[in-house]
Amino acid sequence: MHQPLAGVYAAALTPINPDGTIAVGDLLRLLDYLARRGCHGSLLLGTTGEGTSFAPDERRAIFTAALGVRQSHPEFRLLAGTGTPSLEETIQLTRLAFDLGFDGVVVLPPYYYKKIPDEGLLAWYSQVIRRAVPTGGALFGYHFPGISGVGLSLELLSRLKDAHPQVFAGIKDSSGDAELASQLGQRFGGDLLVLTGSDRLFSHALQNGAGGCITALANLYSPDLRRLWEAYQGGDATVQAQAQERLSAARQVLERYPPAPPLLKAMLARLHGFPEWAVRPPLMPLPPPLAEQATLEFSQIA
């Protein structure tokens, strides 16, 4: 992968204390754990990180605290989720992330208004890029229409790349659409860095030109994601298929207990010894009987 930001990223959880405050020490412990288990980097405050549930000052605190991971893992890459419905707030958060030294930002479209024409999204993203992304920075569009209700069309991606070739880096594709993964490769080749958000489609995405992934399941299964990524680079189809089989099985368990943040927080506590962190309303903790059943199902994956 020739793109400097290609690789395996975790859509990191955000540790929250029982009183609702951010567990800063646990955040550094989580990022260290992810780095040691094969992640090239992490996305802070994406969907899995409950990003839309935090105020701007809380986001600043989380971004600032995350920088501490580089003391022990200097090459660990940090991406920031900065998209909000507010253009000005998105610009401020994006500028903050780059001022702090983050490697890139992953930006949801403004998701309150639906059926927005490409012209409006082009104008919105262009303002964010011109006013907040420095030379050498990387902005990724975040395509997750199943949650945001606002998708990023192939034509929009093409126009953004043409208008901002140096800093519009690519897309986090969390659509789970295999056909779209193929179309992205056919349309852009290596001109856009595609990071799939679907563990189940990881092999397929790589075979269609993607450069890596940003997934929720990486909080638990990053060694398998890294193994698959490296097997693809080395042309080892057997290892790639084995890793993909495990990831697909784990993804099936994940999807049986939605939404992902409370499930993954419960699993990290039970399987890897982390505290069982709280979630922000409107999310609710996973009921203990379901957590025990999910633990059993994850443990049975061969």
At 258-301, the pLDDT tens digits run: 999 999 999 999 999 999 999 999 999 999 999 999 999 999 99
Work out the average pLDDT over 167-186: 97
Examine residue 279 and state whether it is found in any structural domain, yes or no: no
Catalytic residue (choose from 14, 84, 172, 257):
172
Q: How confident is the model at residue 195 (pLDDT cuts 50, 70, 90)?
A: very high
For residues 234 and 249, give the distance between their C-alpha atoms in angstroms, rounded to a whole number. Answer: 24
Mean pLDDT for 105-133 is 97
Percent of the chain with pLDDT over 90: 98
Cβ-Cβ contacts under 8 Å for 125 (sequence gap 6 or more): 107, 109, 139, 141, 160, 168
Domain count, the chain: 1
In a domain, 20, yes or no: yes
For 132-149, the pLDDT digits (tens) are: 999 999 999 999 999 999
Full domain range(s) for residue 103: 7-236
Residue 285 lies in a domain: no
Q: Calculate the average pLDDT of the chain.
A: 96
281, two tokens: 């309303």
Q: Is 113 noted as a catalytic residue in this protein?
A: no
142 is catalytic: yes
Active-site pick, 14, 47, 196, 215: 47
Could you tell me if residue 241 is inside a domain?
no
pLDDT level of residue 3 (50, 70, 90 thresholds):
confident
Q: Which helix (H) or strand (E) holds 234?
A: helix 218-234
DSSP string for 181-202: HHHHHHHHTTSSEEEE--STTH
- Mean pLDDT of the region 22-33: 97
Q: How confident is the model over 36-48, as pLDDT tens digits?
A: 999 999 999 999 9
- Mean pLDDT, residues 223-227 taken together: 98
- 275 within some domain: no
Domain containing 29 — which CATH number? 3.20.20.70
21: annotated active-site residue: no
Query: The dihedral of CA 97, 163, 172, 207: what is its sign?
Result: negative
CB 226 within 8 A of CB 217: no
For residue 140, is it within any domain?
Answer: yes
Residue of 142, 221, 232, 257 marked active site: 142
User: Is the predicted pLDDT of residue 156 greater than 80, yes or no?
Assistant: yes
- Is residue 170 included in any domain, yes or no? yes
pLDDT of residue 190: 86
Residue 136 falls inside a structural domain? yes
Q: State yes or no: is 265 an active-site residue.
A: no
The pLDDT score that the predictor gives to residue 2 is 67
